[in-house]
Every structure is written in structure tokens, then in C-alpha cells.
Amino acid sequence: MAKITYVSFEGTATTVEVPVGATVMEGARDNGISGIAADCGGACACSTCHVYVDQQWIGKLPAKDEMETDMLDFAFEPDEQLSRLTCRLKVTAELDGLVVRLPEKQI
Ligand code: FES
């Protein structure tokens, strides 16, 4: 398990335990975190699982692949450095404490 904190656009932080091997998107979905729609179910085909990763964690994540980079172009106000698709982020023990911020809306 790893603790993941989801911060709503309004600033409310919710911390949940997410199993190692699940994705950050699944952690939100399975814990009732609103703001991550994940319309495609995790197939990297919708961009509605977009978040801004907290600055201090960005260097600890695996790099975006081309598919994620392309799909982020369709997200609402993506940030070149901080934006990630949570269905692409597998939870590992090293990500214990990860903080992600939700955008104002998902497209
Ligand atoms: Fe659709 Fe992540 S759930 S791109």
C-alpha cells in the first residue's frame, strides 16, 4: 500500500491507501475521489484522468511515453511539466506520499 493524496481544485486534500500495482486513477476511482472521470477505463484514450503532480514528486515518476504525451494535448489546461494521466501512473512503494492536484475540470 502507498498513501496517495488527491487535492481537489478547491484545495481539499484527501489521502487514501492505494495498493502497489494499481494505478493512481484506480486509487481515485476505488476510493470515491471525485474529479477523475476516467471515461475510457484506463486505456489512455480519453484524458479525463488528468492531474497536476505536486512539484516535489515530478522527478520521481517514470517519464511520459508518446501515447500519454499525445493524449495530454486533449486535457483541460495541461501543464507541460506537471500534467500526467493517472491511468499511466502505477503505484509503487516509492510513491508512498505522492500528492496530485486535480484540474478545474476534465474535458
Ligand atoms: Fe482515459 Fe486515463 S482513464 S486516459
Name the helix (H) or strand (E) containing 102. none
Q: What is the pLDDT of residue 54?
A: 98
Tens of pLDDT, residues 29-82: 999 999 999 999 999 999 999 999 999 999 999 999 999 999 999 999 999 999
Does residue 81 form part of some domain? Answer: yes
Query: Structural domain of residue 13, as residue ranges?
Result: 2-101
Q: What are phi and psi of 39, to 5 degrees?
A: -60, -30
Alpha-carbon separation of residue 11 from 25, 45, 61, 64 (angstroms): 19, 27, 23, 26
Identify the three-state secondary structure at position 4: strand
Does residue 95 form part of some domain? Answer: yes
Q: What is the pLDDT of residue 46?
A: 97
* Stretch 14-20: mean pLDDT: 98
Does residue 107 form part of some domain? Answer: no
Q: Ligand 1: does its nearest atom lie under 6 Å from the Cβ of 102?
A: no
* Stretch 13-39: mean pLDDT: 97
Does residue 80 form part of some domain? Answer: yes
Does residue 44 form part of some domain? Answer: yes
Q: What is the pLDDT of residue 27?
A: 98
Total of domains in the chain: 1
Does residue 106 form part of some domain? Answer: no
C-alpha span between 83 and 89 (Å, rounded) = 12
Q: Ligand 1: does its nearest atom lie under 6 Å from the Cβ of 36?
A: no
Does residue 16 form part of some domain? Answer: yes
Q: How far is the CA of 63 from the centre of ligand 1 (A)?
A: 17
Q: What is the pLDDT of residue 17?
A: 98
Q: What is the CATH number of the domain that holds 15?
A: 3.10.20.30
C-alpha span between 58 and 19 (Å, rounded) = 20
Does residue 19 form part of some domain? Answer: yes
